[in-house]
């Protein structure tokens, strides 16, 4: 299936669900079913985009860089500052 066609179908279905949910004649149980269907369509969009579920990817344990070492101030400079 063409990816663009799949997206169009998802958006068309979501548009239908949205209109059905806003219809004042729709019963509460049908609105709840529309909300569940909307969530399923959002999940399908995530899959088509190639995005994983949140929290699935973990940072890899690669080679760590060396920690940065800051220079230690000279003791003579400290005494000069205190004397001033």
Q: Is 56 among the domain residues?
A: no
The whole-angstrom separation of Cα 82 and Cα 84 is 6
| pLDDT at position 40 | 94
Number of Cβ within a 10 Å radius of residue 16: 12
Q: Is 11 among the domain residues?
A: yes
Asked if pLDDT for residue 1 goes beyond 70, the answer is no
Q: Is 6 among the domain residues?
A: yes
Asked if pLDDT for residue 74 goes beyond 90, the answer is no
Number of domains forming the structure of the chain: 1
Biggest alpha carbon–alpha carbon distance for the chain: 85
pLDDT in tens, 16-68: 999 999 999 999 999 999 999 999 999 999 988 888 888 887 777 666 677 77
The whole-angstrom separation of Cα 84 and Cα 81 is 5
The whole-angstrom separation of Cα 84 and Cα 74 is 16
| pLDDT at position 53 | 85
Range of the domain at 43: 1-48
- Say which residues have a Cβ less than 8 Å from residue 45's Cβ, sequence separation at least 6: 7, 10
Q: Is 81 among the domain residues?
A: no
| pLDDT at position 69 | 81
């Amino acid at each position: 299936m063409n990816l663009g066609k799949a997206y169009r179908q998802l958006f068309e279905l979501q548009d239908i669900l949205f209109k059905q949910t806003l219809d004042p004649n729709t019963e509460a149980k049908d609105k709840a079913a529309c909300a569940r269907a909307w969530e399923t369509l959002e999940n399908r969009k995530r899959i088509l985009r190639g995005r994983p579920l949140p929290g699935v990817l973990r940072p890899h344990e690669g080679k760590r860089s060396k920690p940065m070492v800051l220079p230690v101030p000279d003791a003579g400079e400290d005494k000069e500052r205190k004397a001033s």
